């Protein structure tokens, strides 16, 4: 399954996103890290409009949305809303953070205590 990976935009989080990508790809999934593909983690700045056009296009090309929720962020909510509107499945992996609105539209909600626990999750949950 090809999944668009969404998370809080913070430099300290970039390494975790790459780890998640590696783990999922070792388990047969294709991961598109939104903030990396859209503007290279902010190093290739775009206008807000162009950023949203690119985000929507990338999300349309994916089978679903994977959210790594360690901290809430506006972009996560926008991407979740877009995915929901497109009828795409939404999967959330959280480090103890909660969001009632995300819980209401997510297809799977997995709580972990450490990023490395992702290696032990059942990847059968991430199917079309």
Confidence class of residue 43 from pLDDT cuts 50, 70 and 90?
A: confident
Say how far apart CA 121 and CA 91 lie, in whole Å.
Answer: 13
Higher pLDDT, 35 or 5: 5
Rg over CA atoms, the chain? 13
Q: Are 3 and 61 in contact (CB under 8 A)?
A: no
Backbone φ and ψ of 93, nearest 5°: -115, 120
Q: What is the pLDDT of residues 64-106, one digit of tens each?
A: 999 999 888 889 999 999 999 999 999 999 988 888 889 999 9
Q: Which domains does the chain have, with CATH numbers?
A: 2-122 (3.40.50.450)
| The pLDDT value given to residue 5 | 96
Say how far apart CA 126 and CA 100 lie, in whole Å.
Answer: 21
pTM exceeds 0.95 for this model:
no
């Amino acid at each position: 399954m090809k999944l668009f990976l969404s998370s809080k935009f913070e430099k300290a989080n970039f390494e975790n996103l790459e780890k998640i990508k590696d783990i999922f790809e070792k388990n047969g999934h294709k991961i598109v890290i939104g903030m990396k593909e859209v503007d290279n983690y902010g190093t290739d700045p775009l206008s807000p409009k162009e950023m949203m056009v690119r985000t929507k296009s990338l999300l349309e090309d994916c089978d679903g949305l994977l959210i790594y929720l360690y901290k809430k962020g506006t972009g996560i909510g926008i991407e979740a809303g877009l995915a929901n509107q497109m009828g795409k499945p939404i999967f959330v992996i959280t480090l103890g953070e909660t969001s009632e609105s995300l819980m209401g539209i997510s297809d799977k909600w997995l709580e972990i205590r450490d990023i490395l626990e992702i290696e032990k999750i059942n990847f059968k949950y991430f199917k079309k």
